Amino acid sequence: MSETSPGLPIGILAELTHRCTLQCGYCSNPLELLKADRELGTQAWTSILEQAADLGILQVHLSGGEPTLRRDLPELVSVLAARGVYSNLITAGVGVDARMVASLKAAGLDHVQISFQGARAETTELIGRLKGAHERKLAAARAVREAGLPLTVNAPIHRRNIDEVELFIELALALGAERLEIANVQYYGWALLNRAALMPSREAVERQIGVVEAARASLRGVLAIDFVASDYYARYPKACMGGWARDAFMITPDGTAMPCHGAASIPHLTFDNAARTPLADIWARSPAFEAYRGTAWMKEPCRSCERREIDFGGCRCQAMMLAGDAAATDPACSLSPLHGRISGLAEDEARGAPAPIRYRRIGAATEPA
């Protein structure tokens, strides 16, 4: 891509529903979850996925909420398979059995990612608030491997489970996963609401990094371990979705197309709906997609920084949230004048006993527990 041309996107995160069997307090979905009656139907999603293939999309991540709650999931997978688009199912796994896996494989599904809220059953139940969830996830993972589909174990890491990183590695190996994602929770949506309940200490984060680095060295060629760092303790920020509207975007259950999960938190942006506006037009001409694409929008110190095309200034939503300006340098960056604010906030919230978790649910957050 260039400053005058966005190039072609390669990936879409398709949030098919906000409904979910679990109530995880770190969920990246917005607090105002969409009910089933606001979800796009099969025909609308089919049209969007066909347009995605026409646009040159190479992979679609089918997510939620819990995407397996959509009865038309095999049909949507088959649309992607027919167009040669790689499909990845991102699921909590608690409703996935061998019959469902067989149906999805027959439809052409390419990959499954199952999230584990804990490496221990009691942690999984604490975070997801569903009795027996851990055993159901294990059964789902085994069904995926027995069907011959590749498996990624996703481990969202926060204060309540950061001491289980070694156990997550053992779990991924035991399940025969090809990949393990150690993903420190990013504080948007429900995770932001629960930041004081979930923020780990700097010391715990540093111990975790040591464990991951050692495991990567010893398991090279056996298990791929991806590591998503904690923004609040980072030296440099991550490129949001690879850079704002640079090569990927997401679509919400009602069809709203956005450059990333949290983009709706930027109040001056208006987003098009993919059920009403052609996907190619949204990608190429949407003012919201153009707003922070490339580097021309940047202020100092980003504008003259040698990393400006590595992390693209970091997260625009986090800049909005913590700096009050979506065009500011992400405070997660050590070069930001506000970096001390984010690191100090993290250390303050990680000190002492964690706050109670407020659990995710459609309608309203539950009372702290």
pLDDT category of residue 292 using cuts at 50, 70 and 90: very high
Q: Which domains does the chain have, with CATH numbers?
A: 11-233 (3.20.20.70), 241-336 (no CATH)
302 is annotated as contributing to ligand binding: no
- Give the pair of three-digit tokens for residue 263: 């983009």
**What are the residues facing 256 on neighbouring strands?**
273
Could you give the CA distance from residue 50 to residue 369 in angstroms, rounded to a whole number? Answer: 44
Question: Does the pLDDT of residue 330 top 60, yes or no?
Answer: yes
Could you give the CA distance from residue 47 to residue 40 in angstroms, rounded to a whole number? Answer: 11
pLDDT category of residue 259 using cuts at 50, 70 and 90: very high
- State pLDDT tens for residues 131-174: 999 999 999 999 999 999 999 999 999 999 999 999 999 999 99
305 is annotated as contributing to ligand binding: no
Q: What is the pTM of this model?
A: 0.94
The pLDDT score that the predictor gives to residue 242 is: 86
Contacts for 248 with CB less than 8 Å, ≥ 6 apart: 9, 10, 11, 12, 13, 241, 242
The pLDDT score that the predictor gives to residue 343 is: 85
Contacts for 133 with CB less than 8 Å, ≥ 6 apart: 21, 22, 92, 94, 117, 124, 125
- State pLDDT tens for residues 28-65: 999 999 999 999 999 999 999 999 999 999 999 999 99
Q: What is the mean pLDDT of residues 181-189?
A: 95
Run of H or E including 208: helix 202-218
> Amino acid identity of 367?
E
Q: What is the mean pLDDT of residues 321-332?
A: 94
317 is annotated as contributing to ligand binding: no
Q: What is the mean pLDDT of residues 274-302?
A: 96
